[in-house]
């Protein structure tokens, strides 16, 4: 995965090479010193395994919908919604029948994304 580190980046997100995590999950990433922004395209019916990490995470739904469980709270996210997930809080996604396109913002950057050890995503299925 070709990552850009610690430089000024000005590109169209669609022009950044898309990483295929598996058959249902695709991601484009821009990485800075203190944050990471990912454009994520997830196929209908996708279920992300429940997981947690030490990063702040915000998700902005650009298209589609997904059910999200954060800790003991369940919510439905649809186009235009944003959710913030604090560090070390268990969370999971179940994508709706139209799929979902979202921006995910992490601080600090996810080292497991950068080194390919994000196994909970690579093992999740639709």
Question: What's the sign of the alpha-carbon dihedral 114, 64, 59, 10?
Answer: positive
CATH number for 13-122: choose from 2.30.110.10, 1.10.510.10, 1.10.287.610, 2.60.120.10. 2.60.120.10
Contact assessment for residue 71 and residue 18, using Cβ atoms and an 8 Å cutoff? no
How far does the chain reach from its first CA to its final CA, in angstroms? 23
Q: Do 40 and 25 touch, CB atoms closer than 8 A?
A: yes
What Cα–Cα distance (Å) separates residue 108 from each residue in 35, 73, 97? 5, 24, 32
Question: Which two structure tokens, joined as six digits, stand for 14?
Answer: 């669609």
Per-residue pLDDT of the chain (126 residues; tens, 9 = 90+): 455 555 677 788 888 999 999 999 999 999 988 999 999 999 999 999 999 999 999 999 999 999 999 999 999 999 999 999 999 999 999 999 999 999 999 999 999 999 999 988 988 765
């Amino acid at each position: 995965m070709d990552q850009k580190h610690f430089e000024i980046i000005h590109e169209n997100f669609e022009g950044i090479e898309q990483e295929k995590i598996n058959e249902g999950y695709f991601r484009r990433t821009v990485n800075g010193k203190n944050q990471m922004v990912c454009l994520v395209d997830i196929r209908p019916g996708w279920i992300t395994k429940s997981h947690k990490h030490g990063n702040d995470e915000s998700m902005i739904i650009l298209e589609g919908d997904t059910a999200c469980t954060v800790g003991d709270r369940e919510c439905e996210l649809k186009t235009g919604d944003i959710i913030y997930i604090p560090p070390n809080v268990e969370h999971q996604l179940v994508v709706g029948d139209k799929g979902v396109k979202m921006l995910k913002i992490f601080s600090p950057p996810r080292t497991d994304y950068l080194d390919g050890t994000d196994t909970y995503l690579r093992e999740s299925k639709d």
